[in-house]
Amino acid sequence: MAAVANVQTVNITINDLPLQVPKGELIVESVKRLGLEVPIFCYHPRMKPVGMCRMCLVEIGFKQPDGTVRKMPKPQTACSLPASEGLAIYTDTELVHNDRRGVLEFLLVNHPLDCPVCDRGGECPLQNNTLYYGPSTSRFVELKRHAPKAFPLSKYVKLDLERCIQCGRCVRFTEEISGDAQLAFRFRGAQMQPSTFGMSEFESKFSGNVIEICPVGALTSAQYRFRARPWDLQSRPSICTLCSNGCNVHIDYRVDRVVRVNGRTNEAVNEEWTCDKGKFGHDIFNSEHRVKKPLVRSGNSLVPSTWGTAYDQIISAFSGANGAVAVIGGAQNTNEDLFSLQKLFRNTFGSNNIDHRYTKVLPAESFTKSFGIGEVATSIASFEEQKAVLVFGTALSDELPIVFLRLRKAWFKQGTKVVVAHHESTDADSFAHVILRYKPGSESTVIAGLALACGVAGADPAFTPEHVEHLSGVKAASLLEAAEALKESKAPVVTTRSLYNLNHAKQVVTDLVAFSKSLESPFNLYGLNANDQGASELGISPFDPVSGAKTGLDTHEILVAASRGEIKALWILDVDPFNVHPDRGLVQRALENVPFLVVQTVSESEATSYASVVLPESSPVEVEGTFTNVERRVQRSKQVLPTRGDSKPAWRVFEEIALRVKPQTPLFNPNDILNKIGQEFPAFRSVSAEDLAGEGALLS
């Protein structure tokens, strides 16, 4: 058990109630401990306090030796005042109420009466604070100022400048959290406004967060604008499946259509932030190209059919192929889907030709068997505790956006030294301690140079800093500075499976693993798709789940065999290989020549036109199940919307086919399957439905 930190506390009183709080805690947070509230606009607990809006004014005093309280002559901002011994805070006095009314009256002088049409109406802090703390009537009768409405800051964010109260939250987010610093205040006084430098487009990859943290309706979503009122919406907690980070979100929907996505707090994963891909990419769930009924081939066309007919054709083709069958895909599916899939193919169809990977290079052995370690060793939240981190060959903001935000936070608040090695510029360069910019193809040279500079035993003495500079372009001084930061700190190595798209990927990964092991540093080869890690853990690969030995064909070998007619029946699960496989020609030849092709998908794709049978799959917001994110954290995703048409969760399809082939006791729901996973896969034994109610559970 970790030692409890020794936190120094101080004694304060809030409205004459005694309280012990950590020394230096902001009073706005101390007040919450008693279930009280101090109204705020500019304050945000994840950003530095600035005391701009003055809404959080409270009376402050100090206890005297005789027990009396000597008050300060003027109210103070609770968002910027740290707790100290003997401090007395009053949040409910006549002076405080007068100050709050005055602040709100000034804010409303030029604020438009847009509440009936404002997207924030019904969930607006300014509206709520005005009703609770503000004046009952306005003394202002002059004309309000006007500004252009719905000015487009970007394709996602619109600015209603009339509504802006100059709290600075949006500007501070881009400076402190996302780090792109694209927004700033222009002009001064009444003319002050948030905008980009040079009035260019707001291109942040995290721009959607400023909409959520804006305390008024000044920043609104171009997608959500005028589409619904808050009371028209129903909201359900869910997990974002558009990348592998596993962000916690709220799905807001109306009339069975997803209307917007907002961040949901999970301190272990995304805190409360989202990337723009996750926040604004939800239109895929409302696609007009959804497959709603099973389709079977009749001549040159696909015609609607029944599940029974589709099952009969599938069973006939896959059971009569003597194991010459295969399945590719699954990285977007739940753990329950994947468990049922591998069970169907291995136990029922007698085939180990299973894979979910589409990179250019596919290792011939499982990662654990090759290197004796797991693919992931560092949790997302633990990056804040690191003294240094090596980010190698990945653009984090594109591939792992939440890991990017966490690493930047570690640098910003804890001074973590981040070493970035990449052949081109990345967003992480903005806070990197050292940048190792190498020539494409010289990755192993840089690793060898780092090993020698770090004093690794057995490092090749030929790779001196000067020689590495000659071969790779990395400055000798930068290499030595990076080694100095890494060698004593056991710095985690961070990369992604996109490394396998390098022609010499096997050598690079081998060298990187050897380097991290020699420094006793945690090695992390993070996945990129929603359930890449779950697919690896649950045997959606040609490797035996127990021994790690290769017992079947990988994706490339499956496609080659299918193109030669050696695979008699091929199943594609929730992926379009034309979009993800590096060799489109091979994919086309495989799909043209395989005798029987099943495409199980949410929406129509290029691959469906080649199918013998198309099975409609429920989308991620229509199913209940679990996903394993990049840090091996299992999280539950609840069903948000009813299924479209005749679509079914993938696990149900696999269980029903297995039951038709061989009568057995079926698994009736995702919880039953999760329990079964725990029985057969040791890493999941500690995961139960009860463990997933909060932040999820890390695999053992």
Residue 4: the pLDDT is: 47
Residues 461, 478: Cα–Cα separation, whole Å: 18
Q: Does the pLDDT of residue 689 top 80, yes or no? A: no
- Residues 551/269, Cβ–Cβ less than 8 Å: no
Strand partners, 88: 13, 61
pLDDT tens-digit map of 628-656: 999 999 999 999 999 999 999 999 999 99
Residue 5: the pLDDT is: 57
Strand partners, 391: 420, 494
Structural domains of the chain, with CATH: 9-92 (3.10.20.740), 105-221 (3.30.70.20), 295-359+531-698 (3.40.50.740), 376-526 (3.40.228.10)
Residue 2: the pLDDT is: 43
Buried b / exposed e over 482-493, threshold 16 CB at 10 Å, is bbbbbbebebbb
Which residue type occupies 643?
Answer: T
Instruction: Provide mean pLDDT across the span 247-264.
Output: 95
Q: Which of 195-199, 236-240, 274-278, 686-690 has the lowest average pLDDT?
A: 686-690
Q: Per-residue confidence at 64, pLDDT binned at 50, 70, 90?
A: confident
Structure tokens given for 570 = 């091929």
Distance linking the first and last C-alpha atoms of the chain: 16
Identify the H or E element spanning 417: strand 417-422
pLDDT tens-digit map of 91-129: 999 999 999 999 999 999 889 988 999 999 999 999 999
Structure tokens given for 81 = 């005042």
pLDDT tens-digit map of 5-27: 578 999 999 999 999 999 999 99
Give the mean pLDDT of the chain: 93
Q: Does the pLDDT of residue 580 top 90, yes or no? A: yes
Q: Torsions phi, psi of 424, nearest 5?
A: -145, 165
Query: Sign (positive/negative) of CA torsion 227, 230, 234, 239?
Result: positive
% of the chain at pLDDT higher than 90 = 83
% of the chain at pLDDT higher than 70 = 99
Q: What percent of the residues of the chain are helix, what percent strand, and what percent coil, each to the nearest 5? A: 35, 20, 45
Q: Which residue has the tokens 């779950």?
A: 534
Instruction: Provide mean pLDDT across the span 467-480.
Output: 96
- Residues 605/633, Cβ–Cβ less than 8 Å: no
Angle between the 555-563 and 584-593 helix axes, to the nearest 10 degrees?
Answer: 50
Q: Count Cβ atoms within 10 A of the Cβ of residue 107 and give its class: 0-12 exposed, 13-18 middle, 19 or more buried.
A: buried
Dihedral (Cα; 368, 369, 370, 376), 10-degree rounding: 0
Q: Per-residue confidence at 605, pLDDT binned at 50, 70, 90?
A: very high
Closest CA relative to residue 309, chosen from 610, 624, 615, 691: 615
More confident residue, 139 or 380: 380
Residue 366: the pLDDT is: 87
- Residues 416/389, Cβ–Cβ less than 8 Å: yes
pTM score above 0.85: yes
Q: Cβ–Cβ contacts within 10 Å for residue 456, how many?
A: 18
Q: Does the pLDDT of residue 1 top 80, yes or no? A: no
More confident residue, 613 or 548: 613
Q: Per-residue confidence at 547, pLDDT binned at 50, 70, 90?
A: confident
Q: Which residue has the tokens 């919880």?
A: 671
pLDDT tens-digit map of 351-387: 999 999 999 999 988 888 888 899 999 999 999 999 9
pLDDT tens-digit map of 283-299: 889 988 999 999 999 98
